[in-house]
Every structure is written in C-alpha cells, then in structure tokens.
Amino acid sequence: MEKPIDSREFLKQTDAKTPVGVAEKTGQSSPEHSECPTGKTSPEQKGGHVVAAFQLPDLSYAFDALEPYIDTMTMQIHHGKHHAGYVANLNKALEGHADWAARSIGEVCATVSKLPEAIRATVRNNGGGHYNHSLFWTLMAPTGNGGGGEPTGELADAIRNDLGGFAVFKTEFTKAALGRFGSGWAWLCLGGDKKLYICSTPNQDNPMMTGIVECPGVPILGLDVWEHAYYLKYQNRRPDYIDAWWNVVNWPAVEDRFVKARR
C-alpha cells in the first residue's frame, strides 16, 4: 500500500494558484510549473454571489496535431464540449462558495472530501474532470515533436528502479487502462515514499483526491479511458486506442512533472 498522499506538499511547492502550462488567451506555455496547468482567474462578484472563474485552457497544439493516433473531431469534441462542460458545471456548483472558488483546481481535488455534502459529488465529478483533462492535454504532443518514444533521464531511471523498466511499465499501465470497467483513468503516480506506482480510478476521480481514492498520490501521467476519448475513431476497441496513444505521450513534459513532484 502506498504511503499517504503527498499532494498538499506538492501543491505548496509548485505554486498551485498560478495558471501556467497553457496560458488562458495566448496558448503559450509558461516556463513555470504547476501541479495542474489550468486556466483560472480570480473569483468574481456577480449578483451578490462569488462566482468561481475556472477556465477552459487552450491546447498548445492544433486539434489535428495528434493525428492519426487521436483524430481531429475527437479532440474538438473532447476539449470543446466535454472538458468545457466540466468547467461550466464546476463554476456553477461553486457559486456562492467563496472559500472554495478561491482555490486552485488542484487544491479543490486534494480537499474534495471536505466539501459541503450538497455540492461534493458535483464538484468531485466536474472538478476532477477539469483537473484530469487540463493535465491530459499537456501530457500529449505531436509524434516526433515531443510525442512518442520513451522516457529518458531521471524518469527512465525511476521507472527502471521502481517498476522494472519501461517495457514492464507499459504492460502494467496498459493493464490498468484496460481493466478499468466503464469510465475512468489510468495513472502513473508518485507516492509519499517518492516511488512510482500505477493505478486506475473510476469516473473523474484522480489520485489527488485523498480520502476518496484507493491510490492517493501525485499523478505524473494520466490516460483518459472514457469512451468519449476514443469512440469516434476506435469504437469499442480500447486496446487499439491505448496502443496508439503511446505515440503521442509527451515524455519530456512527464519527466518535468516527475522531477518537480519528487523534490
């Protein structure tokens, strides 16, 4: 069993309130790092209520940039409809909850078990959806232009030491992704003991959600295995989608995240 989540410490280290990674309007990446690169402005006063201002982050690549592995229409709908829907529902759920609206999405996820019961399930689903997708977009890149290949450096060393090497990791991660019944995510995480491990979570849960999930930790790499992520191109063939996805994994971004999480 992994040690308790270290995500609060990770949030502190990485300045979770700074919206970085995918800038809100320009689509340019910031050199800074965040626990989850997502758009966020300050909560606004509207009609006497505080309105959360989580925003749909732009992609740092074109919708067709991950072809032929992830098709253009899937990217457009996934980002523009599904992810946008999570953001809208999250902001709506947090209306009037000023203390929660002021937090970063990573902080919301890490403390989701403390939310008022009336909004807990909605924020868990939609806040998780916002966090997970914001992260997912940044951990992919066009093949040959950041995407594909194998991890190098410190991440490769850790995968070898903690998981038995890249081939074993790939097999076990794929098993986690295939074994997730229904909708959810497969994860490569860093535990409180600073070791890597693989797990999966249902729906839009993620390993940041301490007190909620069985595998708390800091997510380093995540794979969306909801059907909305692959059905248009792969229909029911989740194994084919996973095989293809390895071609667009942005290993430099994953390693950067790993190095910062392990500090």
- What is the C-alpha separation between 250 and 50, in angstroms, rounded? 37
3-class secondary-structure state, position 54:
strand
Task: Please give the structure tokens belonging to residue 149.
Answer: 């290949």
- Smallest gap from residue 258 Cβ to Fe ion (A): 23
Nearest-CB residue for Fe ion: 224
- What is the C-alpha separation between 146 and 237, in angstroms, rounded? 26
Look-up of token digits 């301490």: 210
3-class secondary-structure state, position 39:
strand
- Smallest gap from residue 178 Cβ to Fe ion (A): 17
Among candidate residues 157, 140, 112, the one with its CA nearest the CA of residue 223: 140
Q: Is 162 in the site for Fe ion (CB under 5 A)?
A: no
Residue with Cβ nearer Fe ion (226 or 234): 226
Among candidate residues 141, 173, 187, 165, the one with its CA nearest the CA of residue 239: 173
- Smallest gap from residue 132 Cβ to Fe ion (A): 7
- What is the C-alpha separation between 97 and 54, in angstroms, rounded? 13
- Per-residue binding letters, 221-260, with Fe ion (x by CB under 5 A): ---x-x--x-------------------------------
Q: Can you name the residues that pair with 190 across neighbouring β-strands?
A: 196, 218
What does DSSP assign to residue 5? P
Kindly determine how many residues on this chain lie close enough to bind Fe ion according to the rule CB under 5 A.
3
- Per-residue binding letters, 165-204, with Fe ion (x by CB under 5 A): ----------------------------------------
Residue with Cβ nearer Fe ion (35 or 224): 224
Residue with Cβ nearer Fe ion (30 or 183): 183
- Name the segment binding Fe ion (CB under 5 A); options: 1-9, 104-112, 179-187, 218-226: 218-226
Residues in touch with Fe ion (CB under 5 A): 224, 226, 229
